[in-house]
Amino acid sequence: MKFVDEFRDPAQVRALLARIGRLVDRIGGTRDRPVTIMEICGGHTHAIFRFGLHRLTPEGLEFVHGPGCPVCVLPMARVDDCVELAQRPGVLLTTFGDAVRVPGTRGSLLQAKADGADVRIVYSPLDALELARRTPGREVVFFALGFETTMPATAAAVLQAEREGIANFTLFCNHITVPPPLRALLQDPDMRLDGFVGPGHVSMVIGTEPYRFIAEEFHRPVVVSGFEPADLLQSVAMVLEQIAQGRAAVENQYARVVRPEGNPRALALMDRVFEPRDRFEWRGLGEIDSSGMRMRERYAAFDAERKFGVGYGAGRARPAPESDGCRCGDVVKGAMKPPACPLFGTACTPQSPVGALMVSSEGSCAAYHQYAGLREAAE
């Protein structure tokens, strides 16, 4: 409780921690057999570590860090395809800053750039479109990735390109959706999760309805949460409350931003441009049915896979093996904590990541590496 005073509302945080403690006792969570709650979103993972919430909560409660970091779950084969695209003559490859460091089997986009490929970091897909407008002689490819929060923006960029007849702009689409990997995790016989803290900003787009199957089919509580420490603790308390009462429902702690129906206009934009692929590979989790999106036939001209014959567009589904010793898959499933991985902090660091979970600050290995030791050092 030493650092509670740092929070914006220490009294509220203290009260929530006491409530969480009582609920964990009531449920019977212990150090050896803790109540396990998965926070799905990488932003939540980052906040939990940054604010030290995993240390403030009782030993009988364990946070399991979910697959909600799109950079972390991007498979090596897709990075390889992207590197190959970037190396083609005339291609100007654009993407978000996080994505350029993800290792493929033949290095990252950053290494491709160092070797002479034209790779540029943009803030928005609309910036990539602007680059296409300004450089009509180049093929501007946007390496699109992200969950439902990001998808409306890329859909809007494609529709704008269509309206303006911009012919040198394509997407290499790696968009993924949140519900299918959760189903895959819940169907895994080794899974040991008691409840979920749902993503705040993905839910801003998709609403709360898509999580209903978790409660109804798998009888686990889900609480959609904001990002403040008090939001996260309140959401955890709400999950525990449901477990203690033997209930499983979808609840919304972040109602000040998230509406049950999400953002219908954003959903319509996404639906116009994208459709689910039959399967998509996730790093550490393997192929998951209907978990990735591709561009609809109508927008084939803006689809880099079709235009350049790469990836699934080339009929290739070639899962690339992870590096030797990398245990990202077990960490994502909650079967292992990052420091238990033999590569953690030695062969694999944020400066030189081997596994995907070390790449982005939202990845649980990177969060552990950055923050796990700080509080003890301060004490």
Partner 1 sequence: MCLGVPARIVAIADAGRMLAVADILGVRREVNISCIADPDAPLTDEIGRWVLVHVGFAVSRVDEAEAQATLDMLHQIGEAEGERGHLRASLLA
Per rule CB under 8 A, is residue 126 in the interface with partner 1? yes
How far apart are the C-alpha atoms of 155 and 125, rounded to whole Å? 9
Tokens read off for 225? 């949460």
- Rounded CA gap, 179 and 110, in Å? 31
Owner of token pair 């084969």: 77
Least CB distance to partner 1 at residue 218 (A): 23
Quick one: the chain helix, strand, coil %, rounded to 5? 45, 20, 35
In the bound state with partner 1, the residue whose beta carbon lies nearer, of 203 and 242, is: 203
- Compute the distance between CA of residue 356 and CA of residue 78 in angstroms, rounded to an integer: 13
Using CB under 8 A as the binding rule, whether residue 292 contacts partner 1 is answered as no
58 binds partner 1 (CB under 8 A): no
Name the residue type at position 179: P
Number of residues that bind partner 1 (CB under 8 A): 48
Say which residues have a Cβ less than 8 Å from residue 65's Cβ, sequence separation at least 6: 38, 39, 45, 331, 332, 334, 364, 367
Residue 51 sits in the site that holds partner 1 (CB under 8 A): yes
Among 60, 61, 67, 149, binds partner 1 (CB under 8 A): 149
Does residue 372 touch partner 1 according to CB under 8 A?
no
Question: ∠ CA 142-145-146 to the nearest 5 degrees?
Answer: 145
Select from 56, 61, 122, 222 the one that contacts partner 1 (CB under 8 A): 122
Q: Compute the least distance from the CB of residue 299 to partner 1, in Å.
A: 17
Assess 47 for contact with partner 1 (CB under 8 A).
yes
Residue 277 engages partner 1 in binding (rule: CB under 8 A) = no
Q: Taking contact as CB under 8 A, which single stretch among the options 169-177, 243-251, 261-269, 272-280 is the one that binds partner 1?
A: 261-269
Question: Is the CB of residue 57 less than 8 Å from the CB of residue 236?
Answer: yes
In the structure encoding, which two tokens stand for residue 4, read together?
A: 């509670």
By CB under 8 A, which span of 29-37, 47-55, 81-89, 183-191 interacts with partner 1?
A: 47-55
Candidates 28, 97, 136, 260: give the one binding partner 1 (CB under 8 A).
97
Q: Which of 234, 235, 263, 364 binds partner 1 (CB under 8 A)?
A: 263
Amino acid type, 73:
V
Residues 6+ apart with CB under 8 A from 296: 272, 273, 274, 275
Using rule CB under 8 A, residue 202 touches partner 1: yes
For residue 303, the cross-strand partners are 171
* Site map (CB under 8 A) of partner 1, residues 65-94, x = contact: ---xxxx-----------------------
- Residue 41 binds partner 1 (CB under 8 A): yes
Collect all residues with Cβ–Cβ distance below 8 Å to 172 and sequence separation of at least 6: 81, 82, 85, 141, 142, 143, 144, 304, 305, 310, 311
Rg of the chain over Cα atoms, rounded to whole angstroms, equals 21
Selected binder of partner 1 within 130, 194, 241, 303 (CB under 8 A): 130
Are the C-beta atoms of residues 337 and 369 closer than 8 Å to each other? no
Q: Which is nearer to partner 1, 61 or 132 (CB)?
A: 132
Binding site for partner 1 (CB under 8 A): 8, 41-43, 46-47, 50-51, 68-71, 96-98, 121-127, 130-131, 146-147, 149-150, 152-153, 156, 160, 199-202, 204-205, 227-228, 256-257, 263, 265-266, 269, 360, 362
